[in-house]
Amino acid sequence: MNWIKTIADYEGSQPDKFYKTTLFRADHLLLGLNCLEPGQVQKVHDHADQDKFYMVVAGRGRFQVGDEQFEGAEGQIIWAPAGIPHGVSNENNTRLTLLVGIAPAP
């Protein structure tokens, strides 16, 4: 098992939709990386039985959690409790890199 991973080794992009990859997965937690290029969006959605967080590793993003919208910047963590709609868009001109955790794992 690889117990240590470096985020930069897993960053990526796709032209048609945001890039995501799984870093670690167990029954109780999934840790992944989402990369949104300028103009890309993760549509508003929810996880009925799963809590989720986004940690902004690099860039800035426009987040929605419930009815609230706000900007998240590098070093900030955004919390989306189970059942609350959430999503993010990159309205800037640089990549937005997010460490994402979901518990329990999907």
Q: Is 45 helix (H, G, I), strand (E, B) or coil?
A: strand
pLDDT in tens, 24-51: 999 999 999 999 999 999 999 999 999 9
pTM across the whole model: 0.95
Stated length of the chain? 106
Q: Which CATH architecture has domain 17-103?
A: Sandwich (2.60)
How does pLDDT run across 94-103, given as a tens digit for each residue?
999 999 999 9
Tokens standing for 38?
């300028």
Three-class SS of residue 102?
strand
Residue extents of the structural domains in the chain: 17-103
Tell me if residue 43 falls in helix, strand or coil. strand
**Is 11:35 a contact under the CB 8 Å cutoff?**
yes
DSSP state of 5: -
Neighbours of 28 (CB within 10 A): 8
